[in-house]
Amino acid sequence: MSPQHDGSMALHVDQLHAAYGSVPVLEGVSLHVAAGEIVALIGPNGAGKTTLLRAVSGLLPSQGRVLLQGRELQGRAPQLIVQAGLIHCPEGRQLFADLSVEDNLRLGAHLRRDREAIGADVERMGTLFPVLQLRRRQRAGSMSGGEQQMLAVARALMSRPVVLMLDEPSFGIAPLMVERIFSVLRQLNAEGLSALVVEQNARAALDLAHRAYVLEGGRVVLEGPSDELASHPGVREAYLGL
C-alpha cells in the first residue's frame, strides 16, 4: 500500500517528552504523518502510546514540538488544538450515554459555524455507518460496544479533522465491526484524510496503515513502511505471533 499524498507534512512530532508526576513516559519521541497518509503506532502495553496521543492533543503537559501543517500547537489549550484540526478519538469512546446518537454527532461539530454543512455531515455519517442512521434517535449508551465505537469515530469525523488520531479503535469489539470502521477509514483516506492510529491489534494496524512506528519504553525503536515492518523478525515474533 502506498500513500496518496502530495508529500506535504500534516503532523510533525519532534522530541516529545512527557511524564506522570516524576515518572517519565515519553523520552524524545519523534514521528510524522504526511498529508493523505495513515500511520500506525504499535507497541506493548505501557509503552506510552496513549500518553503520546494525550500529549499531542494537549491533554497532558509535555516538552518538544507538535506541528500541524507547519503550525506550532505545543502549549496550546486542547480546544484550540481541536479548532486547528487535530482531533483525538480516545480509547473507551467517552460518549454522552444519555444523549441520542444524533446529539452525540452534533456535539462533535460544536466548534464549527457552518450549520447547513453540519446537517449534511450528520447525514453522511449515517451513510458511512448505516447503523447510526437506524439508531439516530436512540440513546448512545443503549447501543452495543461496536456500535458505540462507530459513533465515537463518526463524532470525531464531524469536526472535519486535518489529522484524526484514534486510540485503540478495535478494542473490545467484534471483528466485523472492526472491519467496518477500518473500511471507512480507508475510504476517507482515499479522499484525503490523514490519520495516526494507536492499535493493539498489530496485524490489523499494519494492514491499514501506509507506515508504522513501534514504541517501546517511551521511545521509537522501529519505523518504516507497514509491509516492511510486518516482515521484520522482531515485529513478527513480538506482535504478530509468528
Helix (DSSP H) and strand (DSSP E) numbers for the chain = 10, 10
pLDDT at position 129: 96
Give the distance from CA 231 to its chain's centroid: 24
pLDDT at position 89: 94
Q: Which amino acid belongs to residue 222?
A: L
Kindly tell me if the per-residue pLDDT of 182 is higher than 90.
yes
Q: In what order do the strands lie in the sheet with 23-34?
A: 23-34, 9-20, 62-68, 71-72
Does some domain include residue 44? yes
β pairing state of 163-167 and 194-198? parallel
Q: Measure the CA–CA gap between 131 and 20, rounded to whole angstroms.
A: 39
Does some domain include residue 93? yes
- Please, are residues 206 and 238 in contact by the beta-carbon 8 Å criterion? no
Does some domain include residue 66? yes
Give the CA angle between residues 37, 222, 26 to the nearest 5°.
90
- Please give the tally of structural domains in the chain: 1
pLDDT at position 5: 40
Q: In what order do the strands lie in the sheet with 194-198?
A: 86-89, 163-167, 194-198, 38-42, 211-216, 219-225
Does some domain include residue 230? yes
Does some domain include residue 2? no
- Please, are residues 125 and 174 in contact by the beta-carbon 8 Å criterion? no
Let me know if 42 is exposed, middle or buried by CB neighbors in 10 A (0-12, 13-18, 19+).
buried
Domain that holds residue 190: 9-239
Q: What does DSSP assign to residue 225?
A: E
Does some domain include residue 235? yes
* H/E stretch holding 37: none
Kindly tell me if the per-residue pLDDT of 27 is higher than 70.
yes
How many percent of the chain have pLDDT more than 90?
Answer: 85
- Please, are residues 112 and 37 in contact by the beta-carbon 8 Å criterion? no
Q: Measure the CA–CA gap between 184 and 157, rounded to whole angstroms.
A: 11
Among residues 140, 135, 102, 101, the alpha carbon closest in space to that of 118 is found at: 102
For cell 500518553, the residue is: 51
Is 125 strand, coil or helix?
helix
pLDDT at position 2: 39
Question: pLDDT tens, 85-118?
Answer: 999 999 877 899 999 999 999 999 988 888 889 9
pLDDT at position 8: 82
Residue 143, number of CB atoms within 10 A of its CB: 19
Question: Could you write out the DSSP letters of every residue in 203-222?
Answer: HHHHHH-SEEEEEETTEEEE
How far the first Cα of the chain sits from its last, in Å, is 22
Q: Which amino acid belongs to residue 37?
A: E
CATH code at 51?
A: 3.40.50.300
pLDDT at position 242: 55
Does some domain include residue 3? no
